[in-house]
Amino acid sequence: MRPFTFERAAAPEQAVDAFAAHPHARYLAGGTNLVDLMKLGVERPEHLIDVSGLALDQVETTPEGGLRAGANVRNSDLAAHPAVRRAYPGLSQALLAGASGQLRNVATTGGNLLQRTRCPFFQDTSTPCNKREPGTGCSAREAASRDMAVLGHSAACVATHPSDMAVALAALDAKVEVLGPEGPRTVPVTGFHRLPGDSPERDTVLAPGELITHVTLPPLPEGARSGYLKARDRASYAFALASAAAVLVLDGDGGIRHASLAFGGLAHRPWRATAAEEALRGAPATPESYARAAEAELAAAEPLSENGFKVPLARGLAVRLLTTLAQSPDESPDDSFADSPDGA
């Protein structure tokens, strides 16, 4: 047993103050990732601050016409929310593609963003891992690299970020509201997670003690369609080998007026495909355009010994997703891209 102390916060400000008093603390909400890592010995907090009871469990419309979801909104509730299904079906699809129904009933919006990599070497405390113990080395780089990154990795770390939801949020230009010792601030989702560089132990740009309070979605352009598509080893409860989230707006002549694209399963963070977006802007809405755009983005890929297949897989996902969005009317999340009875 590894002893730790525990307290429940009654307000976000109280949680932040409690963290300041316990520098080796962790916030606990759904616990679907943190508790597992504690059992494995990867996480060893001296103090847990329970934030699951904070009044951050509502989805509200913003004055601009977007949505604002509290950090404690459960993944299942966010996926099923009528406003999300209607205006942001890609987000609902991504949430339903993550984990199992039981876990989605417990996991929170804030916790989903903060989940850590499922790299087996990170989770195995008997192996060297720079993310778990800086300076010890990266066991994955020359070993079982099939599930590892092909974009943005470094000599220090080749792990991938596991979240499906975060990939959709990146394509939707969402923002993360946080509260910390210095007060509140807002961070774009696209800048929230870090690439590994020489400090892979730092997953996000959060400062010590900062607490996620909300995620805000801007209104999408008129006529926008969004979607999420995921490739995995089995139909349920498996992390992405590669995934794609997109928002697409066509003009009246069959050209692309707006496109945003993000990949999952390819990098240490959700990968916003800015080169692909530039190639899509103003191009005809054809599979050939989508393929050229994806290739422009994936040209920077540096596959490892066992994961070169991820490059054509990601390209194919992007082409399929964009083709479907261009050809189909808006559909509910459990119609277009669901690949199992429970949407998992």
Confidence of residue 341 (pLDDT cuts 50, 70, 90): very low
Predicted local confidence at residue 120, as pLDDT = 96
pLDDT at 108 over 80: yes
pLDDT at 330 over 80: no
pTM (two decimals): 0.94
pLDDT digits (tens, 9 = 90+) for 291-312: 999 999 999 999 999 999 999 9
Interatomic CA distance for residues 214 and 69, integer angstroms: 5
Predicted local confidence at residue 337, as pLDDT = 45
pLDDT digits (tens, 9 = 90+) for 218-257: 999 999 999 999 999 998 789 999 999 999 999 989 999 9
Cβ-contact 300, 151 below 8 angstroms: yes
pLDDT digits (tens, 9 = 90+) for 31-70: 999 999 999 999 999 999 999 999 999 999 999 999 999 9
Give the chain's end-to-end CA distance (angstroms, integer). 34
Average pLDDT over residues 260-289: 98
Domains in the chain, CATH or no CATH each: 225-335 (3.30.390.50)
Predicted local confidence at residue 146, as pLDDT = 96
Predicted local confidence at residue 237, as pLDDT = 84
Average pLDDT over residues 72-90: 98
pLDDT digits (tens, 9 = 90+) for 120-167: 999 999 999 999 999 999 999 988 899 999 999 999 999 999 999 999
pLDDT at 198 over 70: yes
| Helices and strands per DSSP (H, E), number in the chain | 13, 12
Residue type, 320: R
Interatomic CA distance for residues 270 and 333, integer angstroms: 21
Predicted local confidence at residue 236, as pLDDT = 79
Paired residues of 59 in beta bridges: 69
Predicted local confidence at residue 338, as pLDDT = 42
- Positive or negative, the CA dihedral 201, 205, 211, 213 is negative
Average pLDDT over residues 317-327: 97
Please calculate the CA angle 76-80-84 and round it to the nearest 5 degrees: 115
Cβ neighbours of residue 325 closer than 8 Å, sequence gap 6 or more: 225, 226, 227, 246, 248
Cβ-contact 5, 28 below 8 angstroms: no
